[in-house]
């Protein structure tokens, strides 16, 4: 079996060790000859890089491993780039969440004003990454799961339409895993139909390989409990804020009981509830800094100090197996069926062709082929049109340096109550993002 060379862009991310452990666990399915980490933050990456050097030597000494801040070194002779970057790191995520909350508006990493701010920071770095990859390894594929995926995907469509970039999100993967716990069937044995935008969609069918439909059974469970399963409560592996999000799905389902909703819809359907239950002094960013950030980096320092990973290993990113499935689909033409963010082009019959939608695709060595989801109801279509227009305006604002268009994007967002509030938030976000955004006029 062919062996592959992979670079992980965002080597200093707290998700990187989990991805590496997952790759090591899947070497029989996706063999590696080289694994490289790349980041523009030398100090941060060095901690994880050194710890993972010990992990690699102990578990896969035959794989050539390195970490670097040099683009040429990182991207020369690669087959795949796995990209999970966070421009501005958690310091800026905290501002994305707290600035809107100060104005009584949802403060969230990927939705509403916070997502728009994060998107404006991410576009330039994503395009630069694509250009670097194409310069040093023109045949390589980028598998991008950086947030905010919807805005990043739209930027790729507009600015690099012919690049080999696949945009994917782990949220539907995680929710499907919860559904599988509800019905007692492995996710790999389930086939879904789904339509929407990233963090903004609905499941219309959940079948097993024999064609049995489980949507009614799952719907009955979600109507009572949301997506929260007893397994999560018992193991306590899920943060309190996520447990609350999974529970809230029952209220999302009530709005349209025909389909199973993506949990992120709570920010659009119940923004008043979200703000009411948010602490403007301690947001999700603070929860992550105090939780995952601390855990991952203390584990890394412990491994370095002890000189071995035995007895203090990183946790494997279990749901991150979808990245291997996607890479294998490209590498071995497996025709894997997965949800991807792709240009619509008729997949949703009554929606704009140039909209970046999230739908099931068959993936082979030529990339994704979206599967037709037919026509969608007008309620969902109207919501999606409003949201996709926000995403398009953000990308246009970035390209044109347009204050007007970014104000329009914020005004149009379902999370923002008025143009006045949108302008006040925008002015605060501009001040906070001076080092990252293009100048707006």
Q: Are 109 and 115 in contact (CB under 8 A)?
A: yes
Residue 409: strand, helix, or coil: helix
Opening angle at CA 307, ends 306 and 308, nearest 5: 90
Which is the catalytic residue, given 39, 170, 325, 428? 170
Opening angle at CA 62, ends 61 and 67, nearest 5: 70
- Return the number of other C-beta atoms located less than 10 Å from residue 62's C-beta: 10
- Residue 116 φ then ψ, to 5°: -65, -45
Separation CA 425–CA 418 (nearest Å): 11
Task: Examine the residue annotation and report whether 354 is marked as an active-site residue of this protein.
Answer: no
Contacts of 362 (CB under 8 A, 6+ apart): 335, 336, 337, 368, 369, 371
Q: Is 219 annotated as a binding residue?
A: no
Q: Is 199 annotated as a binding residue?
A: yes
- Residue 105 φ then ψ, to 5°: -120, 150
How many CA atoms, within 13 angstroms, populate the side-chain half-sphere of residue 168? Answer: 29
Q: Are 303 and 309 in contact (CB under 8 A)?
A: yes
Which is the catalytic residue, given 214, 264, 267, 268? 264
Q: Are 360 and 193 in contact (CB under 8 A)?
A: yes
Q: Are 77 and 132 in contact (CB under 8 A)?
A: no
Q: Is 246 annotated as a binding residue?
A: no
Task: Examine the residue annotation and report whether 170 is marked as an active-site residue of this protein.
Answer: yes
Separation CA 346–CA 56 (nearest Å): 45
Q: Is 284 annotated as a binding residue?
A: yes
User: Beta 336-343 vs 260-261: how paired, if at all?
Assistant: unpaired
Return binding residues.
93, 147, 169, 199, 284
Query: Which residue ranges are tagged as binding site for Mn(2+)?
Result: 169, 199
Active site residues: 170, 264
């Amino acid at each position: 079996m062919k062996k592959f060379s992979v670079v992980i862009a965002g080597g200093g991310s707290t998700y990187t060790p989990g991805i590496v452990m997952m790759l090591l666990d899947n070497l029989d399915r996706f063999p590696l000859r080289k694994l490289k980490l790349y980041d523009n933050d030398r100090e941060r990456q060095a901690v994880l890089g050194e710890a993972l050097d010990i992990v690699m030597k102990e578990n896969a000494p035959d794989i050539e491993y390195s970490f670097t801040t040099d683009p040429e070194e990182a991207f020369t002779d690669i087959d795949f780039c796995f990209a999970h970057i966070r421009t501005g790191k958690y310091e800026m995520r905290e501002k994305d969440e707290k600035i809107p909350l100060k104005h009584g508006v949802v403060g969230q990493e990927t939705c509403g004003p916070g997502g728009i701010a994060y998107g404006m920071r991410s576009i330039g770095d994503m395009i630069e990454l694509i250009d670097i990859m194409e310069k040093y390894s023109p045949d390589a594929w980028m598998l991008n799961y950086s947030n905010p995926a919807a805005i990043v995907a739209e930027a790729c469509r507009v600015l690099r339409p012919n690049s080999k970039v696949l945009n994917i999100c782990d949220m539907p993967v995680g929710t499907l895993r919860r559904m599988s716990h509800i019905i007692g069937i492995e996710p790999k044995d389930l086939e879904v139909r789904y339509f929407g935008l990233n963090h903004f969609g609905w499941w219309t069918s959940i079948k097993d390989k024999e064609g049995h439909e489980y949507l009614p059974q799952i719907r009955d469970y979600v109507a009572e409990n949301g997506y929260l399963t007893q397994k999560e409560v018992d193991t306590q592996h899920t943060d309190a804020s996520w447990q609350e999000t999974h529970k809230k799905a029952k209220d999302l389902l009530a709005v349209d009981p025909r389909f199973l909703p993506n949990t992120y819809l709570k920010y659009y359907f119940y923004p008043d509830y979200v703000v009411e239950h948010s602490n403007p002094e301690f947001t999700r960013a603070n929860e992550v800094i105090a939780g995952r950030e601390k855990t991952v980096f203390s584990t890394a320092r412990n491994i370095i100090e002890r000189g071995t990973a035995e007895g203090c290993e990183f946790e494997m990113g279990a749901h991150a197996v979808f990245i291997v499935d996607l890479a294998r689909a490209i590498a071995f033409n497996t025709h894997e069926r997965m949800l991807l963010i792709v240009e619509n082009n008729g997949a949703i019959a009554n929606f704009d062709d140039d909209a970046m939608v999230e739908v099931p695709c068959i993936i082979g060595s030529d990339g994704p082929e979206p599967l037709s989801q037919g026509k969608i109801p007008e309620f969902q279509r109207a919501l999606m049109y409003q949201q996709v227009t926000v995403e398009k305006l953000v990308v246009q604002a970035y390209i044109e340096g347009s204050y007007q268009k970014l104000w329009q994007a914020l005004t149009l967002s379902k999370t923002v109550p008025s143009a006045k509030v949108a302008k006040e938030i925008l002015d605060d976000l501009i001040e906070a993002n001076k080092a990252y955004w293009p100048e707006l006029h």
